[in-house]
Amino acid sequence: MDRPDASRGPAVKNSTRRAFLSRVTVGLTGAIAAIVGLPILGYLLAPLFQAPSDDLVKVGLVTDFPLGKTKLVSIRDPSPLPWAGQTAETALWVRRRQADGPQMFQVFNVNCTHLGCPINWQAEAKIFLCPCHGGVFYEDGTVAGGPPPRPLYEREWAVRAGDLLVRQAALPNPKQG
């Protein structure tokens, strides 16, 4: 009185339901992981695939900067993430060296190259001074004394139609030469 069909029937039916529920569970888990994980992955990887903004930004008219003087200006801070918006202003020191020509201006970041503290222009002494650790820079940005390991970071600039434009940069460039 062996009834193989009767004994296999419910087991096959339960096995099929168990397999179906397992597949549904795995599928739903995968869908939820994708819904949650893809935006997070996109957020983390987006900066790798987008070049930071390095546009030229107007800082003023050429006539706003007297010959031989150094002036503090500010520009909008570049952001590599389009949804970050304008989070801060970046200050720059602009020094007018000549009346005209390729060496007309020097534009420096306000941060000391030692630890990044903001530097101050001392007009009487014609030096930049870092109050944190006593770093001193000549008016051309080279190190005069103290712990800074390199000259002040400079920004590229251009003059167009009487406007002084400065290149935004996510990371500064050391002074060349």
Tell which wins on pLDDT, 42 or 169: 42
User: Is the confidence at residue 30, as pLDDT, over 90?
Assistant: yes
Asked whether 107 and 166 are in contact (CB, 8 A), the reply is: yes
Among 9-18, 123-132, 160-169, the least confident range: 9-18
H-run or E-run covering 8: helix 4-49
pLDDT in tens, 101-126: 777 899 998 889 888 889 999 989 99
Token pair for residue 12?
């096959």
The HSE-up count of residue 6 (CA atoms within 13 Å, CB side) is 3
Tell me what the pLDDT averaged over the chain comes to: 81
Tell which wins on pLDDT, 12 or 48: 48
User: Is the confidence at residue 19, as pLDDT, over 60?
Assistant: yes
pLDDT score, position 51: 62
Among 57-66, 88-97, 164-173, the least confident range: 164-173
pLDDT score, position 46: 75
For domain 56-174, the question of CATH label 2.102.10.10 is answered with yes
Average pLDDT over residues 141-166: 90
pLDDT score, position 91: 86
Q: How confident is the model at residue 177 (pLDDT cuts 50, 70, 90)?
A: very low
Domain ranges of the chain: 1-49, 56-174
In terms of Cα–Cα distance, which of 80, 95, 42 is closest to 171? Answer: 80
The percentage of the chain sitting over the pLDDT mark of 70, rounded to a whole number, equals 77
